[in-house]
Structure 1
Amino acid sequence: MSARQRPRPLDPALRAYAAQRRHALEDRVADAVTAFAGSMRFVYLHVLWFAGWIVLGVEEYPFGLLTMIVSLEAIFLTTFVMISQNRSDEKSEVLADHRWQTVQHQEEQNDELLRIAAEILEVTRTSSGSAQGSA
C-alpha cells in the first residue's frame, strides 16, 4: 500500500537534493512513512482498524490496549512529522543557496557586460576622435 507519488521537482537544486535523499535507507524509510501517514489511505485504514477492534470485541471497554497502541503510534508519528519538518527546512535551505549562487553568477555576468560595454565605448570614442582629427 503506497501513497500517491509526488511529481518530481523541476528545480535542479531540489532534484539533486531528492537524489541525495534516495541514497540513505533511513531517509527513504522516513519519506515513505511520512508520505503514507499524510494520506487518506492512512485515515481509512485507521477507521477500519478501530471499527474492527470495537465490533469484533477484541477487548472490553475502555479499550486500554487499543489506547496504548494508539499512544505509541502517536509518539512515532510525531517523530516522523518532525523529520518531515526538518526535511522541509533542508529543502528551503537548498533553494536559498541555489538562488544565492544564481544571483552571484548574474552579478558576475553583469559586471562582465559593463566592462565590455565600457571597452566598446572607449574604442568608439577613440576611433571617432581620431577620425575627426584627421579630417
Structure 2
Amino acid sequence: MNSRIINLPKIEDPRGNLSVIEKENIPFAVKRVYYLYDVPSGAERGGHAHINQQEFIIAVSGSFDVVLNDGISDKTFSLNNPSSGLYVGNDTWRELKNFSSGAVCLVVSSGEFDESDYIREFDDFKIYLANKTK
C-alpha cells in the first residue's frame, strides 16, 4: 500500500508547540490545502481515490480514522497527533470516519482540484486498478 505515517518537525516551546510542512517533509510539491471541520457525529468523508494526486492528511485537532484500500486489503490509520500525518499516494481508496467532537482534518494535496482525477465509486476503483495492471 502506497501510504505511511510521516513525522513532522516539532519545535517545542513553553508558549506552545509548532510543526512545519515543507518540501523536505513530504514527497510532493504542495498545490492545494483544504480542511474539514464540524463533521457531524457518525458522518464519513472521503470515499474516493485519486488517479494522480497525492495527499498528506493531518489531525490538527481531535482525532479520526483513515481507512485505505489498495484494491486488495484495507488498512486503518488512527490520526490524533498534529505533529505527524498520513501520506496517501495515488491509486488508493480513502475513507475518513470516527471523527471526534471538534476534530479538524487538514489535507495537503499535490494537485489543484480536478474532477477528472477522482474515482468516486469503489466498484469503478476496482475496475480501474484491474485495467491498469493489464
TM-score by length of structure 2 reads: 0.17
TM-score by length of structure 1 reads: 0.17
Which structure has greater strand proportion? 2
From the CA coordinates, give the structure whose radius of gyration is larger: 1
Which structure has greater helix proportion? 1
